[in-house]
Amino acid sequence: MSLRFDQTGWESLQPGAYRNADGDTVALYGFDLPPDLPASLEQLDHLRRTTAAKTAESGGGLIELDVITLDGLPAVQQIVKLPLPDRPTGVAYIASFTVPRADRSLVLKIQCLEQGVTGMRDSTALNHYLTEYGQGHDLQDMMRWWAQHAYAPEIQGGLPRNLSEDPGWDPHFPQHPLSRARRILTGLAPSIELHPVFKAAPPFSG
């Protein structure tokens, strides 16, 4: 495999796919063609805004996107949320690492689903927000500030990021799927090892 990581706590489902005790899954994908990233990794603002727009067009929302280093190579780390197609409520949080090279890429995708009763994190954070900042402000304005697309607030449609999805709420809701997604990203990143042949491929320039 072109990418390895510490599999402690992960059960193998099939080659390149794993599941943990929370039911979250990790899957590794390799592509032998140029990455479809909309900008070079040096153009972070453009990469964020274009990804936010594409995610909203598909009915979802970008939570966060950063450029990091994995085993010495630049990579994109991001989290998006998407509606669950077979359920009236709830979303899936899809976290991923994308390691692009000029003619190939690796994607490690983590999927964390909302289960059971949903919305507790949102309602708690919303009540706190309205209590803290709502006095003297128009409710419609407050709700516009509450939920807007990350990096591109002018975008409409999809699932805008709301203030309950700020990392500061993760410690209060450690089993929320977004908290789990961030925790998995943080845990996996330091253990990732890339194959020398992949690392030797020409760099991605956008």
| End-to-end C-alpha distance for the chain, whole angstroms | 25
Contact 16, 5 (CB under 8 A): no
In angstroms, the CA 92 to CA 82 distance is 5
The pTM for the full model equals 0.93
Render pLDDT for 43-81 as a digit per residue (tens, 0 to 9): 999 999 999 999 999 999 999 999 999 999 999 999 999
Residues of the chain above pLDDT 90, percent: 82
pLDDT given at position 55: 96
Render pLDDT for 68-121 as a digit per residue (tens, 0 to 9): 999 999 999 999 999 988 777 789 999 999 999 999 999 999 999 988 767 899
